Amino acid sequence: MLSLRTVIARSAAELDTIAPLWNELLRHQEHTIFQRFSWNRLAAEMFCDRMTPHVVCLESDSGAAIIPAVIAHSTGHVQFLGEALFDYRDVLHAGDGAILRLAWQRLGECARPLRVVSLHESAAKHRWTGLPLVPFARAPQVERSAIDEEAFRLAHSRLGRQMRRLQRRGVALRRFTGANSDVLRRLYDCKRMDFAADTANLFVDRRRCEFMVAAAALEHTRCDIFTLEDADARLIAGLVTFRDRDVRRFYTIYFHPAWARYSPGVALLYEVTAQSLGQGLSCDYLTGEYPYKLRLANSSRLLYKVELSAPQMAGIAGAAMDSSAA
């Protein structure tokens, strides 16, 4: 019989009690910025009126597991922390695989439908075995191992000319860190207002904009904000990125509609990708096979989703009770 320490964290404050274990587990598994405790704690706090945390944490002498779950108020579904803003989802686990199975069984006691979208293929392979994985989308990448800055610029010389064309019109490239909250807030305000009619624009929601401003401030120098601005400091295009070890993750791109004929957003994406390759970084364009991403990418990663009905979740919990009664 396993001797277990069990915590179900139902608020941001309760998450603080498992922060040391959370950070320790991240040391033992491949992960992305979206698994960092700081991001998840911030999401639990800022979206508490939309989603109630139900984070399952189990620990024993043989291992530990954390499932960063929430219950969405609007649908009653079990989802993961991060609202709609985290691209890659995952559980945290080290040691005995039975601990992770028991954590899923504790989550199953909610007997609510589960929907987790955008599992990175490496996470799916190592920590989601036994659950029904369904292909969801692909994430285009530019792998530094396959191309360097010079070869990339040669392959996309037309976009290099586009950048020079913008510069001749007085447009300048500027760079900021996540500490420049005023710059980031302006970028998201422009994206919210200029593309308010776009149903795919997550940042019509002001709360999501404020979350990203706060997350960027947490990351500080690991967040790089690139802008193209005209001579009057008006924003022509903007790009929000995060450095995640040897990868730059391209999170948000914006361009001013009046400049659309010059493709300033794609030109900025090209220029920052080239500079990143020169710094020895691979580039991750995150979820979605959009033409402007595929135009530059040299590879992609398959992403998965997991959906379980309420009876299936209850069945996971029931398996634990059947096992203990045997």
Q: Does domain 5-137+303-325 match CATH 3.30.420?
A: no
Would you say residue 313 has pLDDT above 60? yes
Whether 70 and 2 have beta carbons less than 8 Å apart is answered as no
**Portions of the chain given CATH number 3.40.630.30:** 144-297
Choose between 264 and 126: higher pLDDT.
264
Would you say residue 1 has pLDDT above 50? no
**Which of these ranges, 36-45, 105-114, 314-323, has the smallest mean pLDDT?**
314-323
Q: What pLDDT does residue 122 have?
A: 87
Report the C-alpha gap between 283 and 261 in whole angstroms: 25
Q: What pLDDT does residue 324 have?
A: 37
Q: What pLDDT does residue 2 have?
A: 58
Tell me which DSSP letter residue 78 carries: E
Would you say residue 323 has pLDDT above 60? no
Q: What is the pLDDT of residues 207-240, one digit of tens each?
A: 999 999 999 999 999 999 999 999 999 999 999 9
**Which of these ranges, 2-11, 38-47, 59-68, has the smallest mean pLDDT?**
2-11
Tell me which DSSP letter residue 203 carries: G
Q: What pLDDT does residue 3 have?
A: 78
Would you say residue 283 has pLDDT above 90? yes
Q: What pLDDT does residue 319 have?
A: 63
Q: Does domain 144-297 match CATH 2.40.30.20?
A: no
In the block, residue with structure tokens 């024993």:
60
Q: What is the pLDDT of residues 65-112, one digit of tens each?
A: 999 999 999 999 999 999 999 999 999 999 999 999 999 999 999 999
Residue of 136, 146, 151, 152 whose CA lies nearest to 269: 152
- The DSSP annotation for 232-272 comes to T--EEEEEEEEEETTEEEEEEEEE-GGGGGG-HHHHHHHHH
